A and B are shown apart, each in its own frame.
Chain A
Amino acid sequence: MYDLIILGLGPAGLAASIYASRYRIKHLAVGELPGGTLTVIPQVENYPGFQKISGLALTKRLVDQAKSLGGEIKVASLAAIGRQGQTFQVKTKTGETLTAKTLIMATGMERRKLGVPGEVKYLGAGVSYCATCDAAFFKGKTVAVAGGSNAAVMSVLHLVEFAAKIYLIYRGEALRAEPIWIERVLANPKVEVVYQTNIAEILGDGKKVTGVRLDKSYQGKEQITLDGIFVEIGGVPVIALAKPLGVALDDKGFIKVAPDMTTNVPGLFAAGDIASVFGEMQQIVVAVAEGALAALSVFQYLKGHVEKNG
């Protein structure tokens, strides 16, 4: 049995492991993708200490640091979490059961889908959720990005290096990204922003994407001809696993946490994008801070239990 299992291998989970190692907490960090959301971020420019670093390079540094301190990292998909008495049980999809005295939920967010016809059919055939991965397939082509937040705008700025023309299609009136990103997007002649418009359907020829149909006309037409569409409309917290534990959520579905990252369930902590503290501030610097705080709270919780129970 571990003293702590950290669920999720993104920045929050890896930072929790780094701090747990330094607190000498016997722990395991488990998740399906080391780096998590960070792996698909083309360029990080706001993580203090790094002027510019790719999400992938920062992931490698975090993983190496966690491992070098003795952190045990396991790549596996999670099937279920339960609790028996004082012990948490974590089941993986390969049928393994792991047990621990405490858990840190750091499973982050999963990508929100448009939920329109054509999206599933043309996945990997022009529909993409990762501009970093797939921009190179669209050299000299016309693409669209759906969304208006940091992720959408960053994707546009990565795509301008490859594509000839990029439409940014956003349902809102004004982009919601950091102003420094917005300035760069608006200044780029390859980019055309379509405001207050939703994508109603992704069109294709049976094999690949050929365009999108909009919910209202843009420059006299309801369709835009495209070679690809990148969906960057945010995410939803991955809380299905934690629900059976009776964890309290806020009205947007994030895990409610106190400033020390404790939840309403004794022994269960949360950190990173899944936790409610900073709402929309889904940033690496916030995630790692929360991971560190959660590890400290686990340390204090475990110490308290030893003192209470001998």
Chain B
Amino acid sequence: MIILTDQNFEAEVLKSDLPVLVDFWAPWCGPCQMAGPIIEELAAEYAGKVKVGKINIDENTQTPMKYGVMSIPTVMLFRAGQEVGKEVGFAGKEGYLKLITNS
């Protein structure tokens, strides 16, 4: 699990060779707190295949704005620097698995 910021987003996500799953979250968001452990599980299960990171939208405002994130949790999948899929709202493990396998 990588901690993403406005500063490292380009290097870690957009220039990544692996697909990257990005969890937009904030500490006050209940459903985000529940999504967190699932995202961590996926990070372990997909180690070496999918990079997984989370970005705190309270401390980093530019990246959420750039990708039009106005609701959390939002989880996006990036491939080759492009957003290829997203889940808005708590989607459960199945939802996030589908994001990885289908997009």
Q: Does B47 make an interface contact (CB < 8 A)?
A: no
Q: How far is the CA of A136 from the CA of B61 in the complex (A)?
A: 10
Whether the pair A125, B28 counts as a contact (CB closer than 8 A) is: no
Whether the pair A126, B31 counts as a contact (CB closer than 8 A) is: no
Whether the pair A133, B32 counts as a contact (CB closer than 8 A) is: yes
Q: What chain B residues lie within 8 Å of A32 (beta carbons)?
A: 90, 92
Q: What chain A residues lie within 8 Å of B14 (beta carbons)?
A: none
Q: How far is the CA of A93 from the CA of B69 in the complex (A)?
A: 28
Q: How far is the CA of A228 from the CA of B71 in the complex (A)?
A: 10
Q: Does B93 make an interface contact (CB < 8 A)?
A: yes
Whether the pair B68, A208 counts as a contact (CB closer than 8 A) is: yes
CB contact between B31 and one of A33, A136, A228 (< 8 Å): that residue = A33
Q: Does A207 make an interface contact (CB < 8 A)?
A: yes
Q: How far is the CA of A75 from the CA of B90 in the complex (A)?
A: 12
Whether the pair A93, B30 counts as a contact (CB closer than 8 A) is: no
With A77-B92, A77-B94, A94-B94 as given contacts, are A132 and B30 in contact (CB-CB < 8 Å)?
yes
- Tell me the minimal C-beta distance from B99 to chain A in angstroms: 14
Q: Does B58 make an interface contact (CB < 8 A)?
A: yes
Q: How far is the CA of A130 from the CA of B38 in the complex (A)?
A: 20
Q: Does A129 make an interface contact (CB < 8 A)?
A: yes
Q: What chain B residues lie within 8 Å of A59 (beta carbons)?
A: 30
CB contact between B70 and one of A34, A54, A93, A137 (< 8 Å): that residue = A137
Q: How far is the CA of A55 from the CA of B93 in the complex (A)?
A: 23
**Chain A residue, CB-CB nearest to B70:** A137
Whether the pair A124, B31 counts as a contact (CB closer than 8 A) is: no
With A33-B90, A136-B58 as given contacts, are A208 and B30 in contact (CB-CB < 8 Å)?
no
Q: How far is the CA of A207 from the CA of B64 in the complex (A)?
A: 14
Chain A interface extent, by class: 20 to 34
Whether the pair B68, A125 counts as a contact (CB closer than 8 A) is: yes
Whether the pair A132, B70 counts as a contact (CB closer than 8 A) is: no
- Tell me the minimal C-beta distance from B23 to chain A in angstroms: 13
Whether the pair B71, A136 counts as a contact (CB closer than 8 A) is: no
Q: What chain B residues lie within 8 Å of A38 (beta carbons)?
A: 30
Q: Does B2 make an interface contact (CB < 8 A)?
A: no
CB contact between B88 and one of A39, A123, A132 (< 8 Å): that residue = A123
Instruction: List which A122-180 residues lie within 8 A (CB) of chain B.
Output: 123-130, 132-134, 136-138
Whether the pair A133, B30 counts as a contact (CB closer than 8 A) is: yes
Q: Does B50 make an interface contact (CB < 8 A)?
A: no
Q: Does A292 make an interface contact (CB < 8 A)?
A: no
Q: How far is the CA of A138 from the CA of B34 in the complex (A)?
A: 23
**Chain B residue, CB-CB nearest to A38:** B30
Q: How far is the CA of A35 from the CA of B32 in the complex (A)?
A: 12
Q: How far is the CA of A77 from the CA of B34 in the complex (A)?
A: 13
Instruction: List which B46-95 residues lie within 8 A (CB) of chain A.
Output: 57-58, 64, 68-74, 86, 88-90, 92-94
Instruction: List which A170-196 residues lie within 8 A (CB) of chain B.
Output: none
Q: Does B33 make an interface contact (CB < 8 A)?
A: yes
Whether the pair B28, A126 counts as a contact (CB closer than 8 A) is: no
With A35-B30, A40-B30 as given contacts, are A124 and B70 in contact (CB-CB < 8 Å)?
yes
Q: How far is the CA of A55 from the CA of B31 in the complex (A)?
A: 11
Q: How far is the CA of A173 from the CA of B28 in the complex (A)?
A: 33
Q: List 8 A-B contacts (CB under 8 A).
A: A35-B30, A35-B34, A56-B33, A123-B71, A125-B70, A133-B26, A134-B72, A208-B70
Instruction: Kindly list the 7 A-B residue pairs having the minimum CB-CB distance in the complex, ordered from nearest.
Output: A39-B30, A124-B88, A124-B71, A133-B29, A56-B30, A137-B70, A77-B92
13 additional A-B pairs beyond A56-B33, A75-B37, beta carbons within 8 Å, are A32-B92, A34-B34, A59-B30, A75-B38, A94-B93, A124-B88, A124-B89, A133-B31, A136-B28, A136-B58, A137-B64, A138-B70, A207-B68
